[in-house]
Structure 1
């Protein structure tokens, strides 16, 4: 039996006055999810261990069956794995956003964590310029996509990692950066890099006026997915953190032309890639970033649209082809509520449907309906094994 994990990043949320008390998932027109939920095991899963921040890195590591409290070292190392960077055990890897600030001082405000969702054709030359002017044997800048890049400090793990608790920029929209400016100042090297980069970038003619290094850690090491779960699998996503988790665990990483991580991503390309892989593969993890980005932007319209497109342009064609004899897990990794415009660690809704699934008694897939069943997977990394156990029992 094929197993398809379809993950709408940040899809979960809270009721909104603007949608007459509905969440964006409830407000969206999702006939395919609502059809699937009628014959499914439905519940909630705590993807973020207690005491850990509710990032997509931690939540998706859980969904892939690996315990973040054991394996997670930071956001940067996961994205470095996506790029296949050769790292030494004592290297320190930062995720590095290009951001827009009012000023790089304690009076500054974070205007945009994505520098206006800068395109890769504009951002990559900027990061290459930083490498040319500031890079060295010790410090290296690596371009990624859009606003997401990497900063590596060779041998930097000897730095006081615990003292460099820099907040994710997507948590700071329209907020003061004073706390983080003080944190950067604890490291002479990091503080100097951020300030020199600001002097270079503020003349770039883009909204990318500064770098924002965060999510640092030592290189990522994960067990093999196939060895752990017995499935030949692949990840399909626009974002490096999913690709990094896939590459680190030996999953095939499928790159999709036109995959943006936004509402206008290449849905059809992702579906086609999933179908091609499943010709001889067992498992696909298809990840859509659009709902999360829309939540960070505070756009109800875009979040509803991205959920509807996930339903009609990802779930619908895949279920039409594989629904008769395959298992589908539909979930989000974490909540990204419109009200807060950042991640929340509330347990996420999920449904598992396969040919032998029993009636759920539900007529729609939502946060509230998922909570109503009482089914709770308290440790997110146990979800994968739970899914495989359910399928195994059904096949006996």
Structure 2
């Protein structure tokens, strides 16, 4: 049996007036996904329990079969795993975005997609010029990642009481797009250190050479660091030990790379995969076809629909969905049908509404087809058709048992 999971991140949405009351899934031309719906089953799944963040960190753990109440410790630890960083018992990881804030409003949580080289230079300045004021600071280290997505680590030990705890609260910057930020700075244990660094970074970045060059080039400056997603060391049992299947991950996003590392999946890097709307969809499809020759299960994650939603661009979201359909779902399904027993699953992790530009709690539609799956009456892949199916996974982590079940 071969298995394929395709995750069009954040593709679930609400009806949009400009689309005649349709959702992007309904408005897009998706013949391959509709074919899955006609040949298999549709259902709804809840990957975002209301008491946890409605983000990809919780939702993708759920989607892959891990109850977040048991395994979720925070977003940043998952991203640390993507970089091969091991967190010990007393360590903490904190996500560090480079953002653009104007008049106390989150204008851009990506700082106009700052380059990795620019981000590295800015974080070096923060490390050398701001981390010198308290004993806590000597335990903190900024770790550059990709573009605006970076990390701050706190290295603790048994003898020193960590300043942070599970009560340290923070807000994801992508949930603040076009909104005031004054009431959303970190709160709780250790937050004074985080807020001090966030505020000090604004003064440091104001006249930094990186920003002078960006402004001269017509780009938004990086005005601040934004610290969030704090958590301690996670521990996940391997996917193979739970399901008897060895998987591999294709993604351009560190969060999914980190989850893959923690569940024992190798990550397949694809040239041209960017984690944005300009990603090379066809290259991802080709990489997945090749990976099927070597692994029982291949998971292809595509960030583009989510990015379009965060920018409030429904036309770009439709285009991303059609690219995924054409270059990933269609060739993979065709290959699977010609090679023996198989199952294929298409599902987003969480909804992301173009209207609000942020993640939200709620059910997402899934289509599942292949060996042993008896088709239902639905013939299109979208939110309303999935709802009409009457099938529900109220706990999203139950879906994987149903998908892998032989």
Fold-level similarity (TM above 0.5) = yes
Shift of 1:112: 0.8
**C-alpha deviations, 1:45-102, integer Å up to 9, x for none?**
1111231111101000011111111010001000001101132211111111100011
Shift of 1:121: 3.2
Quote the residue 2:268 is aligned against.
254
Quote the residue 1:114 is aligned against.
110
| Aligned mates of 1:381, 1:122 — CA distance in 2 | 38
Quote the residue 2:217 is aligned against.
none
| Aligned mates of 1:124, 1:53 — CA distance in 2 | 28
Shift of 1:129: 3.1
Quote the residue 2:122 is aligned against.
126
| Aligned mates of 1:213, 1:6 — CA distance in 2 | 30
| Aligned mates of 1:335, 1:201 — CA distance in 2 | 34
Structure 1 stretch displaced more, 153-162 or 12-21: 153-162
Q: Indicate the RMSD between aligned Cα atoms, in angstroms.
A: 1.8
Matches within 5 A, 1:197-346: 197-203=201-207, 204-205=210-211, 206=214, 207-324=221-338, 325=340, 326-346=342-362
Shift of 1:285: 1.1
Instruction: Identify which of 364, 376, 398 aligns with 1:360.
Output: 376
Structure 1 stretch displaced more, 18-27 or 198-207: 198-207
Quote the residue 1:146 is aligned against.
147
Shift of 1:364: 1.1
| Aligned mates of 1:343, 1:154 — CA distance in 2 | 31
Structure 1 stretch displaced more, 361-370 or 349-358: 349-358
The change in CA–CA distance for 1:85 and 1:141 in structure 2 (over 3 A counts) is: same
| Aligned mates of 2:164, 2:152 — CA distance in 1 | 16
Structure 1 stretch displaced more, 60-69 or 135-144: 135-144
SS at match of 1:94: strand
Instruction: Identify which of 353, 371, 384 aligns with 2:387.
Output: 371
Quote the residue 2:134 is aligned against.
none
Could you tell me whether the CA contact under 8 Å between 1:194 and 1:210 is conserved in 2? Answer: yes
SS at match of 1:140: strand
For structure 2, the residue ranges without an aligned partner over 5 or more in a row are: 132-136, 215-220
Matches within 5 A, 1:145-164: 145-155=146-156, 158-164=162-168
Quote the residue 2:33 is aligned against.
33
| Aligned mates of 2:180, 2:50 — CA distance in 1 | 27
The change in CA–CA distance for 1:20 and 1:363 in structure 2 (over 3 A counts) is: same
- Aligned residues, how many? 386
SS at match of 1:53: coil
SS at match of 1:383: helix
The change in CA–CA distance for 1:77 and 1:86 in structure 2 (over 3 A counts) is: same
The change in CA–CA distance for 1:102 and 1:32 in structure 2 (over 3 A counts) is: same
Shift of 1:186: 6.5
The change in CA–CA distance for 1:262 and 1:182 in structure 2 (over 3 A counts) is: closer
The change in CA–CA distance for 1:187 and 1:346 in structure 2 (over 3 A counts) is: closer
Structure 1 stretch displaced more, 202-211 or 47-56: 202-211
| Aligned mates of 2:258, 2:143 — CA distance in 1 | 15
Matches within 5 A, 1:96-115: 96-103=96-103, 108-115=104-111
Quote the residue 1:388 is aligned against.
404
SS at match of 1:97: strand
Shift of 1:189: 2.1
| Aligned mates of 2:279, 2:270 — CA distance in 1 | 10
Quote the residue 1:169 is aligned against.
173
Structure 1 stretch displaced more, 199-208 or 219-228: 199-208
Structure 1 stretch displaced more, 192-201 or 1-10: 192-201
For structure 1, the residue ranges without an aligned partner over 5 or more in a row are: none
Normalized against structure 2, the TM-score is what? 0.91
Normalized against structure 1, the TM-score is what? 0.93
